[in-house]
């Protein structure tokens, strides 16, 4: 089944404790992206990647890191989480310039609480 998976789905952590949220897609998509969703603000793009080893900042990159060493994986790293990073996080992918680049497929989300 074509899908985007994220792990973990739920995470409670404390301020300053480094964490990684994994994202993987099995559709051979070139483009991958991370978003955070907060009430009243819709989704805001954190980082995106057009292909392996190519990443760039979205609208709210502060406090986050990403890497794209393999085409299928795009982990989101919070080096020193703070309470204002408490949010619902989504990973998404699309074919990119290889095809239908507009249609993004979303993962199920990761709900993060930073105490």
Partner 1 sequence: SQQGEEDPQALSIQEGENATMNCSYKTSINNLQWYRQNSGRGLVHLILIRSNEREKHSGRLRVTLDTSKKSSSLLITASRAADTASYFCAMNAGGYQKVTFGTGTKLQVIP
Among the listed residues 77, 96, 75, 89, the one whose alpha carbon sits nearest the alpha carbon of residue 27: 96
Range list of β-strands (E), 26-98: 31-38, 42-51, 54-57, 65-66, 76-78, 87-94
- The nearer residue to partner 1, 48 or 114, going by C-beta atoms, is 48
Task: Mark 18-57 with x for binding to partner 1 (rule: CB under 8 A) and - for no binding.
Answer: -------------x-x-x----xxxxxx--x-x-----x-
List the interface residues with partner 1, window 73-92 (CB under 8 A).
88, 90, 92
Contact 3, 106 (CB under 8 A): no
Tell me the Ramachandran region of residue 27: left when phi exceeds 0, alpha when psi lies from -120 to 50, beta otherwise. alpha
- The nearer residue to partner 1, 38 or 79, going by C-beta atoms, is 38
Binds partner 1 (CB under 8 A): choice among 22, 63, 101, 113: 101
- The nearer residue to partner 1, 79 or 100, going by C-beta atoms, is 100
Strands of 4-7's sheet, edge to edge?
4-7, 19-25, 76-78, 65-66
- The nearer residue to partner 1, 36 or 78, going by C-beta atoms, is 36
Binding site for partner 1 (CB under 8 A): 4, 31, 33, 35, 40-45, 48, 50, 56, 58-59, 88, 90, 92, 96-97, 101-109, 111
């Amino acid at each position: 089944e074509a899908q985007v998976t994220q792990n973990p789905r739920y995470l409670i952590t404390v301020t300053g404790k480094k964490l990684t949220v994994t994202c993987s897609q099995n559709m051979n998509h070139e483009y991958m992206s991370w978003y955070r969703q907060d009430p009243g603000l819709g989704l805001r793009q954190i980082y995106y990647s057009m292909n392996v080893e190519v990443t760039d900042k979205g609208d709210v990159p502060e406090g986050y890191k990403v890497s794209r060493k393999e085409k299928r994986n795009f982990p989101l790293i919070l080096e020193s989480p703070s309470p204002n990073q408490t949010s619902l996080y989504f990973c998404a992918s699309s074919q990119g310039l290889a095809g239908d680049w507009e249609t993004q497929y979303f993962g199920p989300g990761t709900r993060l609480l930073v105490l």
